[in-house]
Amino acid sequence: MEIRSTDAPYAVDESVYQQFDERRTIFMRRHWDTSATFYEKEYRDGAARRIAAAEPGYSRVEFAKLLASWTVHDCFDGAYSWRRLGQVDPAMMRLGPHEADDPGAMSTEVKRAASDFGADLVGICRVDPRWLYSHDRSGDPVRIPETARFAIVMGIAMDREAVLTSPAYASAAATGVGYSRMAFAIACMAQFLRNLRYEAIPMGNDTALSIPLAIDAGLGALGRNGLLVTPELGSCLRLCKVFTDLPLEPDRPIDFGLQESCRNCTRCAEACEGEAISASREPSYDAACASNSPGVIRWAVDADRCYDFWIRNTAACSNCIAACPYTRGATP
């Protein structure tokens, strides 16, 4: 696989594209979009029925593990705090700001720290305001300090063997573990930056779009499955990021032939039990559903159909991740 830098990782029609409103995500639309088939439906509500059917991969024990996998993510409220966690160490109070006069060297240190905190991939980019949400899930406008000019984007690998069992509960548990590991990694990275006396704004799926930031940071490219595809892990990862005013050296977007591969491959579309993924040879400006932004060329995923299948499955699905040749070719 040849990996090279590129200056054109995506195509955006600036006359059409607008910042995305987080209230338009599937997980928020189910609360207010009365026209949606999934209005007021939580996808795990039918778990008792599914467990009672005694299907392989959907046992009571596996469901308990699935729920437990989210514990750190769901209970560690401070992971995504914009403020310092805990008390400042007395030794830290006697130190001034770190003199970061070499962005390249500091980027190396940041990437080393990310690895130490559990990130499997990490890249750096400048913050592109197009990728900020216009409003958060509460309807408040998203405002990022102008000084937070750099984004550190981390990829957290999921258990590939578990994901390959999709859509069974074991695969959904791998997703939960990914999010819990993500909470740990992003909280540690934010504190690391604060300890150097720099600003840190950690985020998971909130505040800004993860995939275009990851593309800008050189981690991968957008696949037919609507997810980031990386040379190392395929789509078998979760993304988190932190914005900072620490001067850093950005990475460049990469091209490893993914778009051409996706043109000739429809395995994710064939594996999608919700029929949510396009099998068209060419990507287009078609947005597919209300939870996608217009003005971007891609194979847009119909998130409505995807979530409808999650409801039937009573768990998150990773069929498209499991079917992708890049995931299957990843180093276990």
Mean pLDDT for 177-181 is 97
Pull the structure tokens for residue 323: 């079917």
Mean pLDDT for 93-119 is 92
- pLDDT given at position 330: 63
For residue 332, pLDDT beyond 60: no
Q: Is the peptide bond before 167 cis (omega within 30 degrees of 0)?
A: yes
Q: Are 24 and 290 in contact (CB under 8 A)?
A: yes
Q: Are 17 and 295 in contact (CB under 8 A)?
A: yes
- The model carries a pTM of 0.95
Q: Which tens digit of pLDDT belongs to each residue from 111-159?
A: 999 999 999 999 999 999 999 999 999 999 999 999 999 999 999 999 9
Instruction: Classify the phi-psi angles of 211: left when phi > 0, otherwise alpha if psi is within -120 to 50, otherwise beta.
Output: alpha
Mean pLDDT for 313-325 is 97
Q: Which tens digit of pLDDT belongs to each residue from 250-299?
A: 999 999 999 999 999 999 999 999 999 999 999 999 999 999 999 999 99
- pLDDT given at position 94: 77
Q: What Rg, from alpha-carbon coordinates, does the chain have?
A: 20
For residue 213, pLDDT beyond 90: yes
User: Domain map of the chain by residue range?
Assistant: 10-83+98-328
β pairing state of 200-203 and 150-157: unpaired
For residue 331, pLDDT beyond 70: no
For residue 89, pLDDT beyond 90: no
Q: Which tens digit of pLDDT belongs to each residue from 18-52?
A: 999 999 999 999 999 999 999 999 999 999 999 99
Q: What is the separation, in whole angstroms, between the first and last Cα of the chain?
A: 17
* DSSP string for residues in 241-295: EEEE-S-------EE-SHHHHHHT--HHHHH-TT--S---SS-BS---STTS-SS
Instruction: Classify the phi-psi angles of 164: left when phi > 0, otherwise alpha if psi is within -120 to 50, otherwise beta.
Output: alpha
Pull the structure tokens for residue 250: 């950005």
* pLDDT, the chain, mean: 95
CA distances from 288 to 18, 216, 218, 294 (A): 16, 24, 27, 9
